[in-house]
Chains A and B, each alone.
Chain A
Amino acid sequence: MEKHLDSVPDHEVSREEITSVMTALEPDQLIFAKEHHHCPRRQLTATEMILFWALRIYLVFMVGVVVYQIWTGVR
């Protein structure tokens, strides 16, 4: 079965276009590079994890406050 790259042009690429792309764009700007090379995952430190969770809990709590305000407002 034939497989397609979604972002591939529907016309043949000319030499001029290829030269233009290779000179004007940085290597990691190419869609091909973006699709095949991803930034490696980093390990979070304990402090970072605590910060992430603290802000997540803050957000959930504050959304609860907003819901409470709407509920009391409607009543």
Chain B
Amino acid sequence: MKKRNTASESGGETAFRSVTLGDPESNSQPPPPDRVVITHEDIDRAHDREQVSATRARRGFRPRLRLFWLLIGPGILVMLGENDGPSMLSYAATGARFGVGFFVPFVVLTFLMACVVQEMTVRLGAATHRGHAELIFDRFGPFWGWFSMIDLMVGNFLTLVTEFIAIRAGLGFFGVRPAVAVLGALLVLSVALMTHRYWTWERIILGAATFNLVFVPVALLAHPHWHEVAHSLLTWKPLPGGLTQETVLILLANIGATVTPWMLFFQQSAIADKGLTTHDIRMGRVDTALGAALATVAALATMLATAPLFLHHMSAANFEAAEFAQALQPFVGHWGAALFALGIFEAGMVAAITISTSSAYAFGEVARRPHSLNLPFKQGKAFYLVLLLEAAAAGGLVLIPGIPLVYIVLLVNVIAVLAMPPALLFLYMLVNDREIMGDLVSPLWANVLALGVVIILIAAGLLFGLSVIAPNALAVIGAK
């Protein structure tokens, strides 16, 4: 048995003493209720929280700004993380196929949907201090918990594969060989983890995620017709060509580019790991909204950047990232094309880090293993190994010659949309569970919006099913 310092509170005073501990992973012998074990993770988190409390106690503009800086992170990361490789390729394909029109306001709508969904995870994480997978297992039991985990793990692995496809394709534009690109990305992912501090990790990834905005200068170089962009945003033109198998697929890909199950798991776990409390919910909402706004700008910029391909009637049906960059070169110049390829690489890289982290959080929560980016490698071995092994397996798969990469990219966003309604039902029930949420249960307006999102997702899924099984039936619904 090991002796270590602990603290106990009695009569309003904190007393310190050394006690003998049993195995904390076994609940057979619960510890005395007045004793608390302090861990490395607690100390790191307390240090972060002290800064938040000290800043909150001060008045004025600068302390408010500092508080904002201290509390932002999970929302921006999740939104820019979701602007990942397949998402940016979906936006690029949309711009190249349809130009500026129906899909400009549609993308804004999908990010509004993402805001509605992610706001619920902010409240849930801040109120319970628990990760999403842990709450599902605790409240609904292992039977439904495992279903949810399988959905997440399969979706995350497939998405990770597409992130490495994006990394490979983005760096391919600069002549980097696939094996070097994948190994380099795995190295970057490992280096980011070496900080063993959630705060430092979050700042590094936030810095990297802002490169998602490199699509903005590319869009500017493409000289879009701003009047047309504003007009399409305000009037919402009809779906070009009506409902066809292709437009339904693009619709689904664009929805899947903004609302996916891993986002729920990641943001809630990150909020718990960051140590946010109910006092931080307002700032958590601002963080999420800001992330959505930045991600919307990057998504629209990608569509505007590839719109010249539509105007010049260039077919981009089977383009991958590097081919998009090459095709854009006559319109945006070499630097524009290079920025586009760099943006695709960045999108894949940031998403590879956030998605593998979401898997590791979920695994740790379900397996009851330590799961925090504040843990040293020795103490969080299982957490870090799951994260690294999943990324390595996905990266390795991309290097297999002859693997149908285009099909995998296609699959990922579609599966994300299909898996979302069951994931949202768990979230909806948890966030309306007064036993764990108390007064922070969803208000009526939030529930109406959430149900609206579920209905849109199910309708989109069914439309996709119809387009595959009975393509002619689409003509009856709305084809021109």
Contact = CB atoms under 8 A, between A and B. Distances in A.
A6 B422 contact: no
Nearest to A39: B138
A3 B49 contact: no
User: Would you call the interface of chain A mostly helix, strand, loop, or mixed?
Assistant: helix
B422 A20 contact: no
B40 A18 contact: no
A41 interface: yes
Contact of B411 (A48, A55, A70, A74): A70
Given A10-B376, A70-B411, A32 B465 contact: no
Contact of B2 (A3, A38, A55): A3
B382 to A, nearest CB: 8
B449 to A, nearest CB: 18
Contact of A19 (B14, B36, B372): B14
A75 interface: no
A17 B422 contact: no
B272 to A, nearest CB: 8
A22 B438 CA distance: 23
Interface in A22-41: 22-26, 28-36, 38-41
Contact of A65 (B31, B40, B370, B464): B464
Given A35-B368, A65-B465, A26 B140 contact: no
Interface string B401-437: 0001001000100110011011001000100010110
Contacts of B369: 6
Contact of A7 (B46, B370, B404, B415): B370
B334 interface: no
A24 B468 CA distance: 55
Residue from B2, B22, B24, B38 having most chain A Cβ neighbours under 10 A: B38
A17 to B, nearest CB: 5
A50 to B, nearest CB: 11
Interface stretch (B109-117, B127-135, B200-208, B291-299): B127-135
Contacts of A66: 411, 414-415, 418, 468
Given A5-B39, A39-B436, A41-B138, A70 B407 contact: yes
A18 B21 contact: no
B61 to A, nearest CB: 25
A31 B6 CA distance: 13
A44 B140 CA distance: 8
A26 B376 CA distance: 23
Contact of A29 (B7, B45, B135): B45
A24 B279 CA distance: 13
A8 interface: yes
A20 B30 CA distance: 25
Contacts of B5: 12-13, 18
A51 B422 CA distance: 9
A17 B129 contact: no
Interface of B: 1-2, 4-7, 9, 14, 16, 21-25, 27, 30-31, 36-43, 45-47, 49-50, 53, 128-130, 134-135, 138-141, 144, 147, 151, 275, 277, 368-370, 372, 375-376, 378-380, 404, 407, 411, 414-415, 418-419, 421-422, 425, 429, 433, 435-436, 458, 461, 464-465, 468-469
Given A8-B37, A18-B38, A42-B433, 17 more contacts: A2-B2, A7-B370, A7-B379, A9-B40, A10-B379, A18-B16, A19-B7, A24-B45, A24-B53, A26-B277, A29-B42, A29-B275, A39-B128, A40-B138, A41-B139, A52-B144, A70-B411
20 contacts: A2-B2, A5-B24, A5-B37, A6-B369, A7-B380, A8-B379, A13-B5, A18-B6, A22-B14, A25-B49, A29-B129, A30-B37, A30-B38, A31-B42, A32-B24, A34-B130, A42-B435, A55-B421, A58-B458, A62-B465
Closest 9 pairs (CB-CB, A-B): A9-B40, A24-B46, A24-B49, A39-B138, A7-B39, A32-B37, A55-B422, A21-B46, A18-B7
